[in-house]
Structure 1
Amino acid sequence: MELIIVRHGRPVRIEGADGIADPELAPIGLKQAEAVANYLEQTHIDLIVSSPLLRARQTAAPLMERLGLEAVIVPDLAEIDRDSDTYVPMEELKADGGEEWQAIIDDPDSMHGDVDMEAFSQRVHSAFENIISENSGRTVVVFCHAMVTMCFLQKMLGYEDKYGIRVDYAGITRVQASRNGARSIRSANETMHLGESFILSP
């Protein structure tokens, strides 16, 4: 089967939300979502899967509409920050600079607070493996997040550095997976479809 993994488009900034921060897409993120749909609509797709977070579902929406498919929501594909009351895009953190950005440079894991990284990685890996096992011979598009994608690829490739493969907004990664456990990356972080809406992640 083939996994087509799509990171969500660029969201808006939310700080100090009353509850959990679940940002919608910014205007450029909506353009990125349309670009993804333009790029994939001629591909044979059997199933669309999405994280429950709004930014992923909004990115999936244009492709769903064009193909006449509904998305299957998989809660375990939610991003590492799913319980946070703040969402600040990384490029804004970098532009703001200061101690918070320096702390991330010194220790990238610090941006995730006290989240259990190993538990997160295992949750994500199990979610993808379930999708693979339930969809033999099919093409499945998964709309999710940067850390979700990077942790899955890290575990699959045996990398020590979970940040070794970067994924930009609306970037597309393709993984071929067989029932015998073989996994291969066909492409990583495709962004040529984005044109002027491309944003390089810091």
Structure 2
Amino acid sequence: MLMLSSSREPPLTCFHLIRHGMHGEYGRLLSGRAGMSPLTARGRVQAAGVAAWRGLHAIDAIHASPRRRTVETASIIAQALGLEVVIAPDLDEVDFGSWNGRSFPELEQDPRWRDWNRSRSTSATPGGETMGGAVARTVRHLETVARENTGATILCVTHCDIIRGTIAHYLGLSLDNLLRFEVDPGSISTILLGSAGGSVTRLNEVPA
């Protein structure tokens, strides 16, 4: 990827946002902050695929949400790259409150769940956090790291909705548009941050 910038401006900080690999609850439960299932064999292959991705150049640090599935994904990548995993609480999954750990068929019977998926910008989770709050803490983490590590390349292992919300933020999209694009397990999305703001340069690339 070729990046051109003025010599008078500080270099951009690159963030590769990685969705964790598949785990035992994938597709069945809204794991949220309750999920404790390890990665499946497929999920471990997805993590290894990220580590071997040809676009992964000179990673300076690996940050991960504290959930088991993200830490395990990050650890597989870190071992291959000879790095340590830094746990970053601001990259944590959305706190879904009483929805954490519920099955999707059960959630579909709850009108609040349908409202949440129609209007992420205004709906709230029952006893958890708003989508806007989750995005705000993630953006805070990225922008703090960017200020303190100008020109670095940071790999962040986090969750589907966190990546969707962060991408929407930097594209200037309403959070109501989150379900209009996919973020697959083991995928890579890239954001460049600098003094002029952020730009999205990659979305949902799955290493071959």
Using the size of structure 1 for normalisation, the TM-score is: 0.77
Helix, strand or coil at the partner of 1:125 = helix
Match of 2:186 in 1: 170
Following TM superposition, by how much is the alpha carbon of 1:5 offset from its aligned partner in structure 2, in angstroms?
A: 0.8
* CA distance in 2: counterparts of 1:187 and 1:136, whole angstroms: 20
- Any gaps of 5 or more consecutive residues in structure 1? 194-202
Match of 1:133 in 2: 147
Helix, strand or coil at the partner of 2:108 = helix
* Percentage of matched positions with identical amino acids: 26
The amino acid across from 2:155 in the alignment is V
- Any gaps of 5 or more consecutive residues in structure 2? 1-12
Sort the Cα spacing of 1:101 and 1:73 in 2 relative to 1 into closer, same or farther, 3 A. Answer: same
Residues 9 and 55, structure 1, Cα contact 8 Å, conserved in 2 = yes
Aligned residue runs from structure 1 range 15-34, under 5 A: 20-34=34-48
Q: Deviations over 1:45-86 (max 9, x none)?
A: 111111111111111112211221101111011011476651
**How many correspondences in the alignment?**
184
Q: Deviations over 1:93-123 (max 9, x none)?
A: 4xxx687179656751589544322222212
Match of 1:45 in 2: 59
Superposed CA RMSD: 3.0
Match of 2:17 in 1: 5
Helix, strand or coil at the partner of 2:180 = coil
Aligned residue runs from structure 1 range 50-129, under 5 A: 50-81=64-95, 85-86=100-101, 93=104, 100=108, 107-108=116-117, 109=120, 112-114=125-127, 115-129=129-143
Q: Which moved more, 1:47-56 or 1:100-109?
A: 100-109
Sort the Cα spacing of 1:107 and 1:181 in 2 relative to 1 into closer, same or farther, 3 A. Answer: same
